[in-house]
């Protein structure tokens, strides 16, 4: 499906469509913006009391210099062309800053079987740990070093239920291939005991071609998450959604929870909760960007069996973020200038956020970022217990956290338990490329006047890029849809249903 190319105001075939968009996440907002550019009328119905969905910047106080934490999306790989184009289009290019990722600062920590070790000193222990799972003498020292670092990244990022199979894939599949290469050009550090894994895969993409699809999808994600070409937005990622919303003329209404959708021949009926009542709205066109994890619990009628199946079969993984507002960036006195540590245990990753405002306002620490079962384990605890557990575990690595007055506030978001997403992202790890593409097509195919977008309807799930890709595609489909019977543009009719 090609992207919409026109960039003109007005409608190619002279038909203005009225489109009701469900969800004010980045997919819904981009779709609204692009539809209006093509002369269509839009309205957005958002169930929660805020726009942005999984782009969620939390500010620890209301002042202009408030330390902030990204509870949702926090970085953009620069190769995500569509996202970067929107950043520029929305006048945010001057806010682009480097995002320092896991292990980018060699003074940060990495957890091995010997405990917390500085990244610059971790190679020996990581290699010793890795060697335990390997046959003697089969691989070169450099191959073992490569495997040890890749496993460390995988351990930090992958959910616990995936870590073992991933280690097997590395060991049984990747190492044989890696062993055939001269790795010396990719060794880094004074002791040449770190490996630039990203540079290796960039120079030898053929290694990726030979892997199974499951391993490749995982490599895509971990290479994207730990790559050298990541950026963030100074002042918060939510500027993307706030600027988009500011450019949309149609109404964006929060607190409009959709509880049912009925797809009919020439219209779509959307059931919206209004206090104790359910209002039925007759809409000409509907673009649904609700995550399938949520859509599956709605009352859906008039949809094909295949659409129902793909909605219910979609897999979502949880993510939990726990953040502290600290009196000061204590990690700087420990020699850490940014990036992230792998602290293992139930916390997994810890990110040191840059201080952008007045240092007197304190600093934000993303104390724990977990996904999958690790995220659910934290997610099912009461918030105060979760925060206390993270504080206690992380203080083993950073005892400064226990200094009186160091932690001023704590906040967390458990995406697996979040009413509006029931998961952090749709994941297709474990599936090969063909299976992923089949699932994407089934997810996106329209049901008469009902269209679908959202990261789950893209080839780049779990990223803003995927949400934008899906929105642009849906706009194209709606714009060129040839209605069997034209319905006059007007205010949707309201009916009161029992409920
Ligand atoms: C913890 C975490 C970290 C991430 N990190 C990154 C990152 O670093 N970089 C990156 O590019 N991406 C990242 N992502 C992914 C990225 O945030 C998402 O892919 C993207 O924001 C999804 O946008 P969307 O519009 O498809 O969905 P959403 O943002 O979920 O939007 C859907 C909207 O629908 C609303 N809604 C739900 N149910 C209803 C209902 N019944 N009625 C009405 N409205 C409803 C929701 O409230 C929401 O506003 C991360 C996501 C999470 C959770």
Categorize the per-residue pLDDT at 499 as very low, low, confident or very high, splitting at 50, 70 and 90. very low
Q: pLDDT per residue over 280-312, tens digit each?
A: 999 999 999 999 999 999 999 999 999 999 999
322: CATH: 3.90.660.10
Do 124 and 222 lie in one domain? The reply is yes
Instruction: Find the 467 Cα to ligand 1 centroid distance in Å.
Output: 8
Q: pLDDT per residue over 372-397, tens digit each?
A: 999 999 999 999 999 999 999 999 99
Categorize the per-residue pLDDT at 14 as very low, low, confident or very high, splitting at 50, 70 and 90. low
Categorize the per-residue pLDDT at 13 as very low, low, confident or very high, splitting at 50, 70 and 90. low
Categorize the per-residue pLDDT at 498 as very low, low, confident or very high, splitting at 50, 70 and 90. very low
**Is ligand 1 within 6 A of the CB of residue 102?**
no
Of 132-141, 165-174, 321-330, the range with the highest mean pLDDT is 321-330
**Does the pLDDT value for residue 3 go beyond 80?**
no
Distance CA 201, CA 99 (A): 21
Do 130 and 185 lie in one domain? The reply is yes
- In this structure, is residue 174 part of a structural domain? yes
- In this structure, is residue 282 part of a structural domain? yes
- In this structure, is residue 353 part of a structural domain? yes
**Is ligand 1 within 6 A of the CB of residue 227?**
no
Mutate to test the pocket of ligand 1, among 54, 101, 368, 372 (most ligand atoms within 8 A of CB): 54
Do 370 and 387 lie in one domain? The reply is yes
Distance CA 331, CA 383 (A): 25
CA distances from 57 to 73, 165, 363, 408, 451 (A): 9, 34, 15, 18, 29
- In this structure, is residue 41 part of a structural domain? yes
What radius of gyration do the chain's Cα atoms show? 24
Give me the mean pLDDT over the 154-172 stretch.
83
Q: Which atom of ligand 1 is nearest to the CA of 51?
A: 49
**Is ligand 1 within 6 A of the CB of residue 390?**
no
309: CATH: 3.50.50.60
| Per-residue model confidence (pLDDT) at position 194 | 95
**Is ligand 1 within 6 A of the CB of residue 464?**
yes
Distance CA 147, CA 139 (A): 10
- Backbone dihedral angles phi then psi of residue 483, each to the nearest 5 degrees: -65, 140
Do 154 and 123 lie in one domain? The reply is yes
Contact 369, 321 (CB under 8 A): yes
Instruction: Find the 292 Cα to ligand 1 centroid distance in Å.
Output: 11
**Is ligand 1 within 6 A of the CB of residue 54?**
yes
Residue nearest to ligand 1 atom 4, measured at CA: 73
**Does the pLDDT value for residue 496 go beyond 50?**
no
Do 436 and 471 lie in one domain? The reply is yes
- In this structure, is residue 108 part of a structural domain? no
Do 261 and 385 lie in one domain? The reply is no
CA distances from 18 to 21, 42, 257, 444, 486 (A): 10, 6, 20, 20, 11
**Is ligand 1 within 6 A of the CB of residue 45?**
yes
Categorize the per-residue pLDDT at 426 as very low, low, confident or very high, splitting at 50, 70 and 90. very high
Domain boundary among 390, 417, 444: 417
Q: pLDDT per residue over 453-481, tens digit each?
A: 999 999 999 999 999 999 999 999 999 99
- In this structure, is residue 165 part of a structural domain? yes
Instruction: Find the 421 Cα to ligand 1 centroid distance in Å.
Output: 7
* Cβ neighbours, 10 Å, residue 105: 21
* Cβ neighbours, 10 Å, residue 399: 12
Categorize the per-residue pLDDT at 63 as very low, low, confident or very high, splitting at 50, 70 and 90. confident
Q: Which atom of ligand 1 is nearest to the CA of 369?
A: 1
**Does the pLDDT value for residue 486 go beyond 80?**
no
Residue nearest to ligand 1 atom 30, measured at CA: 53
- In this structure, is residue 330 part of a structural domain? yes
- Among 290, 286, 263, 288, which Cα is nearest to 18's? 286
Domain boundary among 226, 244, 274: 226
Q: Higher pLDDT residue, 329 or 161?
A: 329
- Among 253, 242, 250, 243, which Cα is nearest to 47's? 253
Categorize the per-residue pLDDT at 2 as very low, low, confident or very high, splitting at 50, 70 and 90. very low
Q: pLDDT per residue over 220-270, tens digit each?
A: 888 888 988 999 999 999 999 999 999 999 999 999 999 999 999 999 999
**Does the pLDDT value for residue 493 go beyond 70?**
no
Q: Higher pLDDT residue, 176 or 17?
A: 17
Categorize the per-residue pLDDT at 6 as very low, low, confident or very high, splitting at 50, 70 and 90. very low
Q: Which atom of ligand 1 is nearest to the CA of 52?
A: 49
Do 273 and 190 lie in one domain? The reply is no
Do 320 and 310 lie in one domain? The reply is no
Do 45 and 184 lie in one domain? The reply is no
| Per-residue model confidence (pLDDT) at position 169 | 81
Total domains in the chain come to 3
Do 307 and 437 lie in one domain? The reply is yes
**Is ligand 1 within 6 A of the CB of residue 257?**
yes
Do 305 and 443 lie in one domain? The reply is yes
Do 272 and 213 lie in one domain? The reply is no
Range of the domain at 337: 57-101+316-417
Contact 474, 452 (CB under 8 A): yes
| Per-residue model confidence (pLDDT) at position 165 | 80
**Is ligand 1 within 6 A of the CB of residue 369?**
no
Contact 341, 110 (CB under 8 A): yes
Q: Which atom of ligand 1 is nearest to the CA of 371?
A: 1
> Average pLDDT of the chain?
91
- In this structure, is residue 499 part of a structural domain? no
């Amino acid at each position: 499906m090609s992207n919409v190319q026109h960039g003109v105001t007005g409608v190619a075939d002279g038909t203005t469509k009225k489109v009701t968009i469900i969800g004010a996440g980045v997919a819904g907002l981009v779709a609204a913006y692009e539809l209006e550019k093509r002369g269509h009328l839009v309205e957005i119905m958002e169930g929660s009391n805020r726009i942005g969905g999984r782009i969620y910047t939390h500010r620890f106080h209301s002042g202009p210099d408030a330390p902030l934490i990204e509870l949702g999306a926090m970085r953009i790989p620069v190769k995500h062309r569509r996202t970067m184009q929107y950043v520029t289009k929305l006048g945010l290019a001057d806010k682009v800053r480097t995002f320092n990722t896991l292990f980018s600062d060699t003074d940060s920590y990495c957890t091995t079987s010997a405990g917390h070790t500085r990244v610059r000193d971790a190679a020996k222990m990581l290699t010793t740990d890795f060697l335990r799972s390997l046959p003697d003498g089969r691989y070169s020292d450099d191959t073992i070093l490569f495997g040890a670092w890749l496993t460390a990244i995988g351990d930090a990022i992958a959910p616990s239920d995936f870590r073992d199979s991933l280690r097997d894939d590395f060991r049984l599949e990747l190492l044989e291939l890696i062993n055939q290469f001269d790795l010396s050009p990719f060794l880094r550090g004074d002791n040449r005991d770190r490996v630039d894994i990203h540079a290796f895969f960039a120079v030898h993409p053929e290694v990726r071609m030979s892997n199974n699809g499951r391993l490749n999808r995982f490599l895509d994600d971990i290479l994207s998450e730990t790559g050298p070409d990541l950026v963030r937005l100074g002042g918060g990622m939510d500027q993307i959604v706030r600027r988009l919303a500011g450019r949309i003329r149609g109404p964006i209404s929060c607190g409009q929870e959709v509880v049912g959708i009925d797809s009919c021949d020439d219209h779509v009926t959307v059931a919206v909760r209004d206090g104790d009542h359910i209002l039925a709205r007759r809409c000409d066109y509907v673009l649904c960007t609700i995550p399938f994890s949520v859509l599956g619990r709605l009352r859906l009628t008039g949809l094909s069996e295949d659409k129902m199946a793909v909605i219910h079969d979609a897999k979502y993984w949880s993510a939990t973020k726990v953040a502290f507002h600290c009196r000061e960036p204590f990690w700087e006195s420990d020699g850490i200038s940014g990036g992230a540590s792998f602290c293992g245990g139930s916390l997994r990753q810890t990110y040191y956020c840059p201080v952008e405002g007045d240092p007197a306002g304190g600093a934000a620490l993303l104390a724990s970022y977990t996904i999958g079962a690790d995220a659910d384990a934290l997610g099912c605890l009461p918030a105060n217990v979760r925060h206390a557990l993270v504080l206690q575990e992380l203080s083993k690595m950073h005892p400064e956290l226990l200094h009186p007055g160091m932690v001023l506030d704590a906040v967390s978001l458990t995406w697996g338990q979040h009413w509006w997403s029931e998961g952090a992202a749709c994941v297709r790890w474990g599936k090969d490329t063909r299976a992923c593409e089949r699932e994407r097509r089934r997810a996106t195919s329209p049901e008469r006047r009902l269209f679908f977008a959202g990261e789950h309807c893209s080839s780049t799930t779990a990223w803003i890029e995927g949400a934008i890709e899906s929105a642009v595609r849906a706009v194209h489909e709606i714009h060129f849809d040839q209605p069997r019977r034209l319905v006059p543009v007007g205010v949707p009719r309201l009916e009161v249903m029992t409920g």
